[in-house]
Amino acid sequence: MRARVHVMLKPGVLDPQGKAIAHALGSLGFKGVNEVRQGKVIDLDLAESDPARAKAELEQMCRQLLANTVIESYQIELGQ
Amino acid sequence: MQAAIIVFPGSNREQDVYDALERASGKKPLKVWHRDSELPKADLLVIPGGFSYGDYLRCGAMAAHSPIMREVSARASRGTPVLGICNGFQILTEAGLLPGVLLTNKTLKFHCKDVHLRIETSQSLFTSRYEAGQVIRVPVAHHDGNYFADPATLDRLEEKGLVAFRYCTPNGELTEESNHNGSARHIAGIFNEAKTVLGLMPHPEDATDPLLGGTDGQALFAGLVEALA
């Protein structure tokens, strides 16, 4: 089963990379970019085929390694 | 004092801290490769600076979950002092031995220069040879040293006297400019609750030899030797 994990900085946590991207977009002439936040996408191919069990395992993976929950939130998307 | 230095793939300041410890204690530290499952008996565990695992995922994240770190955490919980410098500080936060996290510098740049630090307390194994309020000059070399924690955690650190060092001017003032990487409340280093674990971004080990331009870091190692001899 395939899965995709989105990791984003929590609101309020400074994202200097996002700010730099917003600035660069502005200097390229893209007006009206109010804010940019940059995150990560992690694709996984799992041996598990049961969606509930896969989801539970992914939750553990996110909490233990894939995200640092002090500053990041995560979202799990299950594929086929 | 017998120190053991944990070396990960990508660590690069292990020899600097080795030399500083040897100069202070007269005893050769042990180097422990991350794959070694046995952690030797030691009075002090040191996690050196560098770019463990190429800073993949997040700085310190991969090293924090390696098997040797489980052993380091177990020793730390039994009271063995642990010193984490630079990447070592990042690893200690990722491993949950210290609160908070180190974000990218506010300037988005790698900072490699001398900075001034205000000693916040002399009441610890690590800072007993300094005076509270004393200002020292030591180098920094990092891209992700911007300390962050939620306001409740920061308040708790302050109330319990767990802030070890803050970035300041040569006179000890906390100005916006002296806080070069944007750290919350100018924090450069913190202790755990028992004050047996210290993490800091600057490199006191690189200020222990007059040839390198300063010796303000010597007292940290001398204090440890005195406390742990």
Give the Å distances, CA to CA, from B47 to A63, B84, B199. 23, 5, 9
Residue-wise pLDDT for A55-69, tens only, equals: 999 999 999 999 999
Reported ipTM: 0.81
What are the structural domains of chain B? 3-228 (3.40.50.880)
> Residue A66 CA to chain centroid, in angstroms?
9
Q: What is the rounded average pLDDT for all residues in chain A?
A: 94
Chosen for mutation from A37, A68, A72 (greatest number of chain B CBs closer than 10 Å) is A68
In this structure, are strands A2-9 and A40-45 parallel, antiparallel, or unpaired?
antiparallel
Q: Which of residues 19-78 of A touch B (CB under 8 A)?
A: 20, 64-66, 68, 70-71
Whether A64 sits inside 8 A of B150 (CB atoms) is no
The CATH classification number of A2-78 equals 3.30.1280.10
Whether B103 sits inside 8 A of A70 (CB atoms) is no
Question: According to the model, what pLDDT value does residue B124 have?
Answer: 97
Q: What DSSP line would sit under B51-106, residue for residue? A: -GGGG-SSTTHHHHTSHHHHHHHHHHHTT--EEEETHHHHHHHHTTSSSSEEEPPT
Nearest to A70 by CA among B106, B189, B148: B148
Question: According to the model, what pLDDT value does residue A80 have?
Answer: 66
Chain A residues with CB under 8 Å of B99 CB are 70
Q: Do A43 and A79 contact (CB within 8 A), yes or no?
A: no
Mean pLDDT by 10 residues, chain B (229 residues): 97 97 97 89 97 93 92 96 98 97 94 98 98 98 96 97 98 97 98 98 97 95 95
> Residue B96 CA to chain centroid, in angstroms?
15
| Residues of B designated as active site | 86, 203, 205
d(CA A22, CA A37): 9
Question: According to the model, what pLDDT value does residue A12 have?
Answer: 86
DSSP H or E stretch at residue B16: helix B14-25
Chosen for mutation from B58, B91, B92, B154 (greatest number of chain A CBs closer than 10 Å) is B58
Amino acid identity, position B139: P
Nearest to B228 by CA among B21, B67, B85, B20: B21
